[in-house]
């Protein structure tokens, strides 16, 4: 029927049908548009609203010593956060949270009142606080576990290890240098949200798994590190130094076995530590080394063949007026002495004359050969280069200062590396402190092996140099360092500090560096003390630290001592020191003498006793031996069925004796007299020059550490036989 002939009702119905049909077409079209054309866009929008990405932190790699002992590890702490816009009653929530976290109400409520979508309420809190917060079940408050760096041995090798910040990023030492390997790669999960935007903890979808960081296994030996730190702290305290450093190195490989500075800090509490204590002085500090640098001049003249050990040099009786208007002085008045004695007595004047024979071109060549002026390349951050001026900038005075360690600067790491080259038959190795990198399953991903830098001198010259260094300890400025069972090759150093553009007259850098055993070196040890108070010579301050560390390292590594006869053959006719040495473990096997157990731990004492077939009994309480029933060097009274028994008293050893008997000093040089008096803690006054002619108190009298010793010296010093050792040493 035509719409034209329809009645009004039919017309209205037709219009209504058309409108409904049009509406249906529009709705269907819109649905097609939304569900087909815009499907992908709206699906992504819904996904973003339903899920939120959350980062999963990778575990930071551990740091271990060479044997696997943990030096740096991770512990779980918690961060408590809040979404203020999701908390309905902020005041009530603040009351509950302040109790759970042990915080003030004001501190919590002020954070909740901030106009932010997210705030931290507390960071790095222990589990008990996190558990208390979770038990409250407050909407909009989360407690998230986070790894925190922890150093179980606290101050152990702290400047070498470094520390991490609050975001677990390495900020110093190995933590910084190897941060890229230690950090790992974070993962990602999608956390589901409910209709109100709250996180749903279940059914998270993993997008990318985290990769834990690699663990670092160092070359450090935890036991040797402990020995070094204990002995360094003793000297720092006893001599009231401004600072002190020590490094122990394997000369054959370049591995760092121990590295310490004092004062030190606890990396677990780095936030409350001054920047001065964070610095690793062994690699970051440079200074004029003084007499320890004489090694380079000595190697140069021996290698070039311009000087032999027995060549004579006149040391001007203590004051040398050079052609350039500068006066070079020695601490002792020395006359005509051999090059061996020049080096052994540490004569500045003698070394200047030796350096003039070498010439500035050759001296510069050996400075660079030994690596001075260039970083060693050790894998620690911030290594200083030291300074050696280019040859064209040397002045006419340079040959009167550089041969004995002034007008240049060096780091402790450069010095120990130079001596390690001599210990390694003239081959310099690159020092390093990390052995390998391991994944979470213990598989080695990357290893670091010994790396030869260059040959600095022939093996023949290295052996001749070793003999000179042994002479220093046997007869020269290093007699305080001598050990009864081991030959030591070493050198003392006492340098004036350069302060505010001039050399100080009362502040010194005292040092000792050497290797042991001298002929088959196991370790090279460098010790420096910054401005020791009282006595300041390197042989009497840094030297005893070297001695104690060397003695304990040899016992720890079970390195057998040498027979005294072999040592005396090297030193025959030149000193009576051999008659005063305590028997070694080899001597025990041959001559059955009681060794010196003083200062050893029970375990070290047992090893030494076992080597000589002795039986030990212990009495008292303490960590170290302070007394023994049989005197050192006494014959062992034993039979085949009744082995020798020695009773050792344990206690807490002191740095110096409480008292003792005055030794015979007549005929001794000043330095020899000081060596004999040092354990008594006396104040010593010298009158005159030369060797001791008279003394008070007389030999054999009982003295205490508060006493005073007066020594009169008066003998001509025109030859080596009448001269004491010289130079700041």
Task: Please give the full DSSP string across 149-166, using - where no structure is assigned.
Answer: EE-TTTTTTHHHH--B-T
Interaxial angle between packed helices 348-358 and 360-369, expressed in degrees from 0 to 180 and rounded to the nearest 10: 100
Q: Give this prediction's pTM.
A: 0.70
pLDDT for 46 equals 66
Distance CA 540, CA 545 (A): 9
Q: Name the H helices within 310-458.
A: 339-344, 348-358, 360-369, 412-423
Please give the backbone phi and psi of residue 49, each rounded to the nearest 5 degrees, phi first.
-75, -30
Q: CA distances (Å), 659 to each of 580, 678, 679, 702, 717, in order?
A: 20, 11, 9, 7, 33
**DSSP 3-state of 143:** strand
Q: What is the dihedral of CA 294, 296, 300, 303, to 10 degrees?
A: 110
CB-based contacts of 580: which residues, under 8 Å, 6+ apart? none
The single residue listed with the structure tokens 């409480």 is 658
Rounded to an integer, what distance in angstroms lies between the CA atom of residue 513 and that of residue 580?
A: 24
Q: Please answer whether residues 218 and 175 qualify as being in contact, where contact means their C-beta atoms are separated by less than 8 angstroms.
A: no
DSSP assignments along 516-561, one per residue: ESSSS-SEEEEEEEES-SS---HHHHHHHHHHHHHHHHHHHTTPPP
Residues forming beta bridges with residue 513, ordered by sequence position: 491, 526
DSSP letters spanning 564-624: HHHHHHHHTTT-SGGGGPPP-HHHHHHH-B----TT--HHHHHHHHHHTT-EEEEESSSSE
Computed over every residue of the chain, the mean pLDDT equals 83
Using CA atoms, how far apart are residues 368 and 370, in angstroms rounded to an integer?
A: 5
Residues 593 and 587 sit within 8 Å (Cβ to Cβ): yes
249 - beta bridge partners?
Answer: 256, 524
Contact 491, 529 (CB under 8 A): no
d(CA 398, CA 408): 10
Q: Could you give the CA distance from residue 163 to residue 268 in angstroms, rounded to a whole number?
A: 8
Token duo for residue 116: 């932010």
Q: Distance from CA of residue 162 to its chain's centroid?
A: 11
Q: Which pLDDT score is estimated for 575?
A: 36
* Cβ-based neighbours of 451, under 8 Å, separated by 6 or more: 254, 429, 430, 432
Cβ-based neighbours of 168, under 8 Å, separated by 6 or more: 57, 60, 147, 148, 149, 183
Residues 131 and 128: their CA atoms lie apart, in Å, by 5
Residues of the chain with pLDDT under 70: 1-5, 42-43, 46-57, 188-208, 562-593, 611-612, 632-633, 636-644, 652-660, 675, 679, 700, 702, 705-706, 715-729
Which helix H or strand E contains 502, and what residues bound it? strand 502-516
**Cα distance between residue 293 and residue 488, in whole Å:** 18
* Residue 406 near residue 495 (C-beta atoms within 8 A): yes
Long-range own/partner contacts, residues 176-182 (CB < 8 A, 24 or more apart): 176/381, 177/379, 177/380, 177/381, 178/216, 178/379, 178/434, 178/437, 181/61, 181/213, 181/214, 181/216, 181/437, 181/446, 182/60, 182/61, 182/63, 182/213, 182/214, 182/215, 182/216
What pLDDT score does 585 carry? Answer: 34
**How far out from the chain centre does Cα 72 lie?**
15
Can you give the pLDDT at residue 41?
73
Calpha distance 467→191 (Å, rounded) = 72
Could you give the CA distance from residue 385 to residue 414 in angstroms, rounded to a whole number? 9
Handedness of CA 662, 666, 669, 672 (dihedral sign): negative
* Residue 657 pLDDT: 37
């Amino acid at each position: 029927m035509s719409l034209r002939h329809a009645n009004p009702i039919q017309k209205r119905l037709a219009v209504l049908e058309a409108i409904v049909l049009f509406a249906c077409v529009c709705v269907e079209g819109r649905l097609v548009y939304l569900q087909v054309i815009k499907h992908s866009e709206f699906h992504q929008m819904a996904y973003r609203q339903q899920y939120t990405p959350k980062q999963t932190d990778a575990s930071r790699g551990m740091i271990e010593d060479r044997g696997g002992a943990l030096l740096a590890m991770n512990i779980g702490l918690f961060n408590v956060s809040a979404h203020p816009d999701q908390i309905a009653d902020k005041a009530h929530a603040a009351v509950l949270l302040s109790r759970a976290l042990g915080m003030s109400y004001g501190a919590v409520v002020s954070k909740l009142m901030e106009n932010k979508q997210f705030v931290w309420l507390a960071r790095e809190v222990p589990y008990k606080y996190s558990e208390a917060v979770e038990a409250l079940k407050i909407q909009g408050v989360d407690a998230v576990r986070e790894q925190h760096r922890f150093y179980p041995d606290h101050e152990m090798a702290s400047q070498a290890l470094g520390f991490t910040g609050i975001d677990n990023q390495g900020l110093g030492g190995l933590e910084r240098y190897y941060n890229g390997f230690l950090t790992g790669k974070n993962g990602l999960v999608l956390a589901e949200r409910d209709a109100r935007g709250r996180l749903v903890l279940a059914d998270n979808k993993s997008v990318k798994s985290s990769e834990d960081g690699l663990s670092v296994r160092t070359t450090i030996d935890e036991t040797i590190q402990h020995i070094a730190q204990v002995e360094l702290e003793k000297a720092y305290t006893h001599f009231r130094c401004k600072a002190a450093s020590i490094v122990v190195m394997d000369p054959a490989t370049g591995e760092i076995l121990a590295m310490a500075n004092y004062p030190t800090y606890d990396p677990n509490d780095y936030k409350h530590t001054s920047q001065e204590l964070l610095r690793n002085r062994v690699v970051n500090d440079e200074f004029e080394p003084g007499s320890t640098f004489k090694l380079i001049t000595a190697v140069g003249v021996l290698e070039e063949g311009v000087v032999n050990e027995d060549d004579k040099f006149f040391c001007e009786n203590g004051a040398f007026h050079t052609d350039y208007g500068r006066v070079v002085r020695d601490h002792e008045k020395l006359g005509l002495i051999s090059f061996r004695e020049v080096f052994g007595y540490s004569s500045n004047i003698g070394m200047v004359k030796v350096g003039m024979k070498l010439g500035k071109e050759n001296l510069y060549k050996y400075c660079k050969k030994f690596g001075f002026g260039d970083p060693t390349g050790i894998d620690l951050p911030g290594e200083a280069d030291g300074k050696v001026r280019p040859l064209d900038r040397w002045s006419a005075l340079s040959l009167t200062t550089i041969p004995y360690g002034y007008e240049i600067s060096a780091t402790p790491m450069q010095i120990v590396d130079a001596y390690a080259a001599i210990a390694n038959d003239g081959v310099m190795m690159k020092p390093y402190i990390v052995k390998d990198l391991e994944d979470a399953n213990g598989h080695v991903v990357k290893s670091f092996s010994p790396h030869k830098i260059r040959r600095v001198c022939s093996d023949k010259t290295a052996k001749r140099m070793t003999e000179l260094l042994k002479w220093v300890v046997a007869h020269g400025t290093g007699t305080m360092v001598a050990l009864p069972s081991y030959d030591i090759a070493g050198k003392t150093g006492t340098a004036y500090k350069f302060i505010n553009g001039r050399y100080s007259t009362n502040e010194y850098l005292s040092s000792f560096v050497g290797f042991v055993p001298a002929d088959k070196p196991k370790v090279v040890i460098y010790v420096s003390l910054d401005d020791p108070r009282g006595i300041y010579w390197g042989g009497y301050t840094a030297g005893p630290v070297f001695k104690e560390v060397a003695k304990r390292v040899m016992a720890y590594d079970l390195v057998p001592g040498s027979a005294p006869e072999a040592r005396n053959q090297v030193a025959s006719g030149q000193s009576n020191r051999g008659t005063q040495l305590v028997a070694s473990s080899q001597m025990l096997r041959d001559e059955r003498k009681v060794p010196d157990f003083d200062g050893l731990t029970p375990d070290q004492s047992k090893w030494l006793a076992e080597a000589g077939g002795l039986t030990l009994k212990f009495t008292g309480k303490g960590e170290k031996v302070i007394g023994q029933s049989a005197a050192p060097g006494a014959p062992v009274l034993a039979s085949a069925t009744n082995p020798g028994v020695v009773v050792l008293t344990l206690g807490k050893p002191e740095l110096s004796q409480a008292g003792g008997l005055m030794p015979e000093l007549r005929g001794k040089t000043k330095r020899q007299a000081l060596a004999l008096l040092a354990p008594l803690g006396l104040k010593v006054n010298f009158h005159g020059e030369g060797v001791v002619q008279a003394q008070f108190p007389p030999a054999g009298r009982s003295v205490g550490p508060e006493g005073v010793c007066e020594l009169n010296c008066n003998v001509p010093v025109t030859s080596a036989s009448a001269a004491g050792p010289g130079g700041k040493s």
